[in-house]
Amino acid sequence: MWRAATRWLAVALAVAILTGAVALAWWLAAERMSAAMGLGPPDGVVVVEECYDVEDGEGNSDGTDCKGRFTPAGASADESRPIVVRGAVKKHRPGTRLSVRLARGKAYEPSTAPAMKFGIGAGLILTLGAVPAGWLLVGAWRGRAPEGESLVVGVVGGMMAVIVLGIVVGLFAVIIVFLS
């Protein structure tokens, strides 16, 4: 009786962990990734005022952002407001008009860099949910807990695979952008 209850508890916990990971990845990355990939119709136009290089907390280059005036699609110029375009493809000249999509108050032009960043982040979150869920399900199926080392190896291997896959996809995206 206890063995069956333990199995069902492991299955329920695995489903909860996986559901939480999917929900977190969706909440943190899906909207931003789709905006950076240029999915859907543009939300408006940004007239660029200036572009500048951005650095992360350690002083490494983190791409290019542009400040400008955002006018929603179908609105008049009177309704424009200041906005920042995150992860711009390049430093645009002042006066350049960019079709953008909005996500969480930031504008994104179709660009590979932010899409890659959010994609890798979502992949890491999903790995941190899928591997422990799979470990619990294997234990429930076999009727005994698998070794803890398999969980550690699975998490580390999964995270490394996501990062390597992200780098490979990024290289292909850069090649496609340069060829077009």
Q: In angstroms, rounded to a whole number, what is the distance separating the alpha carbons of residues 128 and 42?
A: 33
Q: In angstroms, rounded to a whole number, what is the distance separating the alpha carbons of residues 112 and 171?
A: 10
**pLDDT on residue 24:** 93
Longest dimension (CA), the chain: 72
Query: Cα–Cα distances in Å, from 48 out to 39, 71, 78, 86, 163?
Result: 21, 11, 16, 12, 33
Q: Cβ–Cβ contacts within 10 Å for residue 153, how many? A: 12
Hey, which bits of 56-133 come out as E strands? 61-72, 81-86, 97-103, 106-108
Tell me the pLDDT of the chain (180 aa) as tens digits. Answer: 667 777 888 888 889 999 999 999 999 888 888 888 888 888 999 999 999 998 887 877 778 899 999 999 888 777 889 999 988 888 999 999 999 999 888 899 888 778 788 888 888 999 999 999 988 888 888 777 778 788 888 889 989 988 888 888 777 776 766 665
Contacts of 170 (CB under 8 A, 6+ apart): 112, 116
**pLDDT on residue 37:** 81
Q: Cβ–Cβ contacts within 10 Å for residue 118, how many? A: 24
**Domains in the chain: boundaries:** 2-35+115-179, 40-109
Q: Cβ–Cβ contacts within 10 Å for residue 127, how many? A: 22
- Residues constituting the chain: 180
Q: Which amino acid is at 81?
A: R
pTM of the model as a whole: 0.74
Quote the distance between the C-alpha of residue 42 and its chain's center. 19
**pLDDT on residue 177:** 61
**pLDDT on residue 176:** 67
